[in-house]
Chain A
């Protein structure tokens, strides 16, 4: 009995530690990637880092991106375009970066980002652009 309980406690601790570490890693990578630049555009757009080994990209992220409607999405193979992936500190797939029209990264999402979250970030990026032009 006690072996099972101890094992359960150990696994719970490992899962909690992993979740904490992942949160810390995502925040750190996000801080490092904030402000990184790519090509400028007339409107905000999304850099979508993916790869052939990424299942969530195909089953979750791509349907979510398809729901966004008329938004420019630049699909990037994180293995083939390593220098671009490194610039945005891509450590997990999928990674989506909401880019302002001036080509500056505004939001970096490591892991699956649902459509409402991306819509919110895009709206914010459009707002930033409007403020900048006003």
Chain B
């Protein structure tokens, strides 16, 4: 189980981006319903970022803009990137399911999207990562092999 250095500021920017996007879609859709399109777009961004980190929009904003300009300071921590990627992928999958429900059953679609935002907020604010806990349980049960 090799640990690497993970910049936790990149993770925080990612979580903040998720919360902000869902909130804009949620609150904004009260006035302008087409803003709900942000939810499927966010699902695509998260899923792309899970499989191709160079396409992770919020992390790239951090690495290309916020970090070089000193707006957000780096916070390197000896850590494994896999649980964080797993958590991001889980968020992407839930948002994809939310997107499917947005038109036929908007309550379910909005609730699922809001749940992802709540979990991202809890992670950013308190460091509790539900996806990482699920990753631990899957490793413990041998579903995922420790790398």
Interface presence of A8 (CB below 8 A): yes
Counting contact residues on chain A (CB < 8 A from B), the size range is: 20 to 34
Interface presence of A10 (CB below 8 A): yes
Interface size on B, residues (CB 8 A): 33
- Whether B136 contacts A55 by the Cβ 8 Å rule is no
Chain A residues near B58 (CB-CB < 8 A): none
* Contact A56-B129, Cβ < 8 Å, known A15-B118, A82-B140: yes
Pick from A46-54, A66-74, A113-121 the stretch touching chain B.
A46-54
Inter-chain residue pair count (beta carbon < 8 A): 80
- Whether A51 contacts B115 by the Cβ 8 Å rule is no
With CB as the reference atom, state the residue of chain A lying closest to B127: A56
Pick from B46-54, B60-68, B72-80, B88-96 the stretch touching chain A.
B72-80
> A64-108 CB contact bits vs B (8 Å, 1 = yes)?
000000000000001100100100000111000000000000000
With CB as the reference atom, state the residue of chain A lying closest to B84: A55
> B103-147 CB contact bits vs A (8 Å, 1 = yes)?
000111111001100100000000111001101110110000010
How far in angstroms is the closest Cβ of chain B from A83? 12
- Whether B139 contacts A58 by the Cβ 8 Å rule is no
- Whether A52 contacts B1 by the Cβ 8 Å rule is yes
* Contact A53-B127, Cβ < 8 Å, known A3-B110, A59-B8, A78-B140: no
How far in angstroms is the closest Cβ of chain A from B128? 6
> A1-12 CB contact bits vs B (8 Å, 1 = yes)?
101101110110
